Amino acid sequence: MNEKNFEYLRDQIKYTGFGEALESQLKEKMQKEEPDFTLTHNSQYGNDTATATLNFNKSKESDLYFFNSYKVELQKENSKESLEQTFYINKGSNITMKEAYNLMEGRSVNKDLTSKEGEVYNSWVQMDFKQSETNGNFKLNHYHQNYGYDLEAALSKHPIKELETPKYKEDLISSLKKGNLQSATFLKEGNEIKQYIEASPQFKTINIYDNNMKRIDNRKAQEEKKSESQQTSEKQGSKKQNQTADDDGPEVPKEAKKKKKSQSM
């Protein structure tokens, strides 16, 4: 067995989101020196179960093995039929197991990908469940940099508390780029309400859900942001007017003030 090849594959498996649990099985399979082999990994996401079958092939010219792809079978809660998709391993940034699950849930993932010519480019990826490829996979739609989706700008249209703190804002954007359904705190009429959001590059916006995972109309959410901004500006305007009245109003002599007070009494 090629030790360096084993270490490379071990790390590749780990950083593709399968952890370290498959290390001993990988070594055992490689020692047998068979032309190809598979490893199985199970993941639980809430009440959904995802089973991944990792595919390895041995080079015909050397003793090196290659991690070519992994097939995910997703069994969703309350669904009789499972969903299947194969994800291919490239030299560049691979789709991780969690990102694969997010894609199969219909969400979008932002990745640095490598073209056939070896050029690295950034793109949002989303699964199209209405179209299938010749290999049986669902088609992956790509929304490249030139498509013009700005996640930060899309978020700024909503009254999200996390955007006010640089660190929380960075974490929120990073999570959404991985395709996660992320909780966020919305400010509404002075109240803090927890809702869930996901990136929607196709429509250059974000999708918002309430605690019961019911989709909230985007136009309504943006109107709430506008209303929140108007309330803030009105408060600031009122405060400014009061300050102006205090500063610019005619000065009343102290004696006149006392006289006015005694008359009223």
Query: pTM of the prediction?
Result: 0.80
Residue-level pLDDT, tens digit, the chain, 265 residues? 899 999 999 999 999 999 999 999 999 999 999 999 999 999 999 999 999 999 999 999 999 999 999 999 999 988 888 999 999 998 667 899 999 999 999 999 999 988 778 888 899 999 999 999 999 999 999 999 889 999 999 999 999 999 999 999 999 999 999 999 999 999 998 899 999 999 999 999 999 999 999 999 866 555 555 555 555 555 455 444 444 434 443 333 344 444 444 444 3
Indicate whether 81 belongs to any domain. yes
- The count of structural domains within the chain is 1
Indicate whether 93 belongs to any domain. yes
The DSSP-derived string for the chain is --HHHHHHHHHHHIIIIITTTTHHHHHHHHHHT-SEEEEEEEEEETTEEEEEEEEEEE-SSSS-EEEEEEEEEEE-TT-SS-EEEEEE--SS-PPPHHHHHHHHTT-EEEEEEE-TTS-EEEEEEEEEEEEE-TTSPEEEEEEEGGG---HHHHHHTS-BGGGGSHHHHHHHHHHHHTT--EEEEEEETTEEEEEEEEEEGGGTEEEEE-TT-PEEPHHHHHHHHHHHHHHHHHHHHHHHHHHHHHHHSPPPPHHHHHHHHHHH-
Indicate whether 239 belongs to any domain. no
Indicate whether 75 belongs to any domain. yes
Domain span including residue 27: 1-100
